[in-house]
Structure 1
Amino acid sequence: MHTGTPGQRRVAPTRIDRISPNDLTTLVSDRGPAPMNIAAVLVVDGGATLRRDEVLRALETATAQVPRLRQRLRPVPLGCGRPYWVDDDFDIHRHVDFRQVDDDHLWTEVADLACHRLQSDRPLWRAVWLTGLDRDRAALVVVAHHVLADGLSGLAVLAALTGTTATGQPTGAAHHTAYTRRALVADAWRSRVHGLGTLATRARAAAAGARDLGLDGRLPRRCPRTSFNRPTGPRRRLTVVERPLADAVAAGHRLGVTVNDLVLAAVSSAVAATLRDSGETPDCIVISVPFSGRSWAGSGRLGNETGVVPFRIPLDVGRDARLRTVARMSQAQRARPRAASAAPLGVGFRALARLGVLQWFVDHQPLVNTFVTNVRGPAHPWRFCGRPVTSVVPIAVTPGNVGVTFDVLSYAGTLGITIVTDPDVVADADPLARHLAQELDELVGPLG
């Protein structure tokens, strides 16, 4: 708490640390039965030998490097602008739990943790230290609301939690005391007036974003209807497929494509094969592919700076032709403004939220079949409390009528793909995982 000389009035910071328009879109989109959380599992070799106080001390020290982990989000009255961050009376014990789990139940436990809604009266993250795994391993599960970080900035948070990065810089002038309504309204109007000076730039960005989404003067194209696209519920299940990253990089060089192109082609082929097993034969699949608006992220620069682009990938062609199509789409997108679609998507989603129909739209959207996120992680393994982190597994909980999504992370020489499914939509994810492994083997080469 703030202390000072009796009778001395505290001077409020000149800038209110509000969430960005992109973050506001994330916040208003969180209306479904499963929260919009992101998570990661860090498997720590020898972690079972660590004491609880060692784990707590390491995490408490790390949160000092990431100011946002010690701040909570404060809502505002109508007409007072976007919500803002304030310092929390932070207590590490409110954010870290200790549990036992065996290897057979690890991923079920992790999926349930990722789908647990975080408490809004404290910083929007939690960590769970899981022991009981074979060979004295432990797992650090970190769950955060998507408003706190996107994939790239989330990776920076994980690096800070493992003590890999240097001290981060404060992300804003958050403080304990709530602002008055008058101060909030004045700040909101200053922001609007300032925005007038960037209107032309934002209009150009919005136009570019509309083109990314296929909305430049045309109605958006619908995606094929599949059994994977039904309203999802509060649960998720996880399946992990891994391959050596060096093999994927070598295959990309040989074929003249990127690792991400290989992953998108493999995912589309695997989804097609799984649907064919149940008698479904769509001629294409539409994958929502995120593109970050930043080239780097540090622990002092969090939030969301990501746009998405729908990739319509043909399924009625051969594997090689499909890969070439994906590579052409990727190359064309890399020549365009980064994350431009965030602006028109944000305007549209926030308008739907004000009309009270956003959840209905998300549960019935006809535009994409699945999501594939891909983040490039560190080439060398992290360490936690002196123990090596042997693998990092990413998870994103996506709302709406998309019953299967794919989260990709390269970490310390391994290319890992997490298949996230709603068990009420996809009862058995094993056939999909087998098809994905086979497609990767065909494109990249078998696990050696």
Structure 2
Amino acid sequence: MTTGTRPSGAAYRRGGDGEVTRLTSNDLTTLLSDRGPAPMNIAAVLVVDGGSRLDPSAVVSALDLGTRRVPRLRQRLRARPFGRGRPYWLDDDEFRVGRHLGFERVDSTEALLLRMAELACRPLPRDRPLWAAHWLSGLPGGEAALVFVTHHVLTDGIGGLAVLGALADGAPETPGVPSSAPTSGRPVGRGRPEPLRTAGSVRQRLRLLRSGLHDLGARRERPRLCPHTSFNRPTGPRRRVSVLETPLGAAIDAAHRHGATLNDLLLTAVAGAIGRSLADRGEPVDSVVLSVPYSSRTSTTAGRLGNETGVVPFRIPLESACETDGPARLQRVAQLTRRQRGRPRAASAAPLGVAFHALARMGLLQWFVDHQRLVNSFVTNVRGPTAPFTFCGREVTRLLPVAVTPGNVALTFDVLSYAGTLTISVVTDPDVVPDPGPVTAHLREELDLLLVSTNAPPLA
């Protein structure tokens, strides 16, 4: 799937008057997808050892320094006049860390996860840079947590890790980016202007539209839709998060022992958990379709954010989802994914973007995302740093992910490896999935089945 490393400080190209950084087509697709009652935000929780003993001013200073390493965190997204091109990033003259940072107390991990989900679902004001941070002190053992939320248009998961690395102690400086307001000059770098609507460019957009609509199921032949389940209903403005953690090395060893990858193991476990949960609800299905984001990059820097991802759907058979032979199911999933590895990463992003634009212009995009029958769930997996971060001189002991997904997918799974631990966040809409306990318990059972052959420690 995707990997990430600590930023190395590479810079955007700098330019003169009139040069701006505009949204890419992938960024614009992400922005268009932000429909419905829950914002398309991504968030991470950094649990800081001894953080409750830090003075709030130290947290403010650390974040202020971090935003200087990530220029995008000091820029607003501005729209151009109709017909004049894509939105662009512009320095926020009123930027202050205090406009983005809050302080409060929580007294348990359960309260932290509840607050994390609430903050991830809070819309970010468009009159300032698209991020917010909250420092939650009072956790057991003197820990505190930094909940950092960004809009997905600012970055994907790979870029999100680069941002977190830039907020940590000792990160390198990142040179600035072009940010002047557009005049008669031309955008540069990733914001190159679109070509004029020549006959050739129109034909290209029509080809992309046809390809995108094909990916969305509009084919001459009848498309094979995903099963209709009670987990696939239009979602509301709230989410809840539960978390599982296991040693990363044990999970990788279990996968490799059976000729599979870590991603194969995760797909097997998630599909099995969904299948068991649906069976409990009296909704047995023979397969589920899991959508997996793939990035066109394996790492990035704090100076190169944005979105460079596409998606690949995997139909995972469930005829034997409840059997106890986890390794056998893992091997079958590995065979299935190997057949699809030849597809270029992020190949679906451009055509889907054109298709989403067309649906948006017709006023049909919200209806589509609320009623789609292409995927049952989303599984994201980002490989984080192998060594722990420090923040304000304190070790970050845990790193927890959450992404808010719009539409009719009320159960999603966000996976992140960090300092030897594999963390899986189970994200649910409480209006559709009132009790996430059974899903989480089944996921724990599925992972235990897959890890048992390596005598791995039980899940935390």
Normalising by structure 2, we get a TM-score of: 0.88
Deviations 1:334-354 (A, max 9, x none): 332111010111111111111
How far is 1:168 from its partner? 2.5
Letter in 2 for 1:146: H
Deviation at 1:14, TM superposition (A): 4.2
Instruction: Find 1:225's aligned residue among 208, 228, 235.
Output: 228
Residue 93 of structure 1 corresponds to: 98
Task: Please list every run of 5 or more consecutive structure 2 residues that lacks an aligned counterpart in the other structure.
Answer: 1-14
3-state SS, counterpart of residue 311 of structure 1? strand
Measured after TM superposition, the shift of residue 55 of structure 1 is 0.4
Aligned to 1:192: 195
Identify the residue that residue 275 of structure 1 maps to in structure 2: 278
Corresponding letter in the other structure for 2:279: R
User: Is residue 365 from structure 1 mapped to residue 369 from structure 2 by the alignment?
Assistant: no
1:135-284 alignment runs, 5 A limit: 135-163=141-169, 165-170=171-176, 172-175=177-180, 178-180=181-183, 190-193=193-196, 218-284=221-287
For the 8 Å contact 1:249–1:259, the answer to whether it is kept is yes
Question: Is 1:152–1:297's contact at 8 Å kept on the other side of the alignment?
Answer: yes
Distance in 2 separating the partners of 1:118 and 1:270 = 33
Q: Is residue 454 of structure 2 the alignment partner of residue 447 of structure 1?
A: no
Contact 2:292 2:379 in 1 (8 A): yes
- How far has the Cα of 1:15 moved from its partner? 2.7
Are positions 1:109 and 2:112 aligned together?
no
Measured in 1, the distance between the counterparts of 2:212 and 2:348 equals 4
Correspondent of 2:55 among 37, 51, 58: 51
Question: Contact 1:285–1:315 at 8 Å: present in 2 too?
Answer: yes
Which of 354, 358, 366 aligns to 1:351? It is 358
The whole-number CA distance in structure 2 between the counterparts of 1:137 and 1:411 is 18
Q: CA deviation at 1:227?
A: 0.6
**Match 2:392 to one of 385, 403, 412:** 385
1:299-333 Cα offsets, whole Å, 9 max, x none, are 11101110001100000135445323321233233
The yes-or-no answer on 1:431 pairing with 2:431 is no
Cα distance in 2 between the residues matched to 1:273 and 1:55: 44
Shift of 1:293: 1.1
Is 2:130–2:154's contact at 8 Å kept on the other side of the alignment?
yes
Counterpart of 2:337 in structure 1 is 330
Q: CA deviation at 1:218?
A: 4.4
Q: CA deviation at 1:409?
A: 0.3
Q: CA deviation at 1:13?
A: 2.6
Structure 1 residues 52 and 21 mapped into 2: Cα distance closer, same or farther (>3 Å)? same
Greater relative contact order, per chain length (Cα 8 Å cut-off, separation 6+): 2
Measure, in 2, the Cα distance between the counterparts of 1:207 and 1:77: 28
Aligned-pair CA distance for 1:120? 0.2
State how 1:68-87 maps to structure 2 within 5 Å. 68-87=72-91
Tell me, yes or no, if structure 1 residue 419 matches structure 2 residue 429: no
Which one is further off, 317-326 or 236-245? 317-326
Change (3 A) 1:304 1:131: same
Q: Is the CA contact (8 Å cut-off) linking 1:349 and 1:358 kept in structure 2?
A: yes
CA distance, structure 2, for counterparts of residue 146 and residue 83 of structure 1: 15
Given the alignment of the two structures, is residue 314 of structure 1 paired with residue 320 of structure 2, yes or no?
no
2-side partners of 1:278 and 1:101: how far apart? 34
d(CA) in 2 for partners of 1:84, 1:380: 35
Structure 2 Cα separation of the partners of residues 348 and 208 of structure 1:
8
Residue 324 and residue 212 in structure 1: after superposition, are their counterparts in 2 closer, same or farther (change >3 A)?
A: farther
CA distance in structure 2 between the partners assigned to 1:262 and 1:194 by the alignment: 46
Alignment-derived partner of residue 25 in structure 1: 29
3-state secondary structure, aligned to 1:327: helix
Please state how far the C-alpha of 1:400 moved relative to its aligned partner.
0.5
Structure 2 contact 212–354 (Cα < 8 Å) conserved: no
Q: 1:164 to 1:260 in 2, by over 3 A?
A: farther
Alpha-carbon distance between aligned partners in 2 of 1:215 and 1:60, rounded to the nearest angstrom: 48
Matches of 1:189 and 1:270, distance apart in 2? 44
Post-superposition Cα deviations, 1:47-78, rounded to whole Å, max 9, x if no partner, equal 01110110000110011111100100001221
Question: Is the Cα–Cα contact under 8 Å of residues 400 and 423 in structure 2 kept in the other structure?
Answer: yes
Say whether 1:37 aligns with 2:41: yes
Q: Distance in 1 between matches of 2:411 and 2:425?
A: 10
Deviation at 1:82, TM superposition (A): 0.5
Shift of 1:219: 4.6
Distance change (3 Å), C-alpha of 1:100 and 1:213: same
Q: Give the TM-score, by structure 1 length.
A: 0.90
Aligned residue for 1:191, secondary structure, equals coil
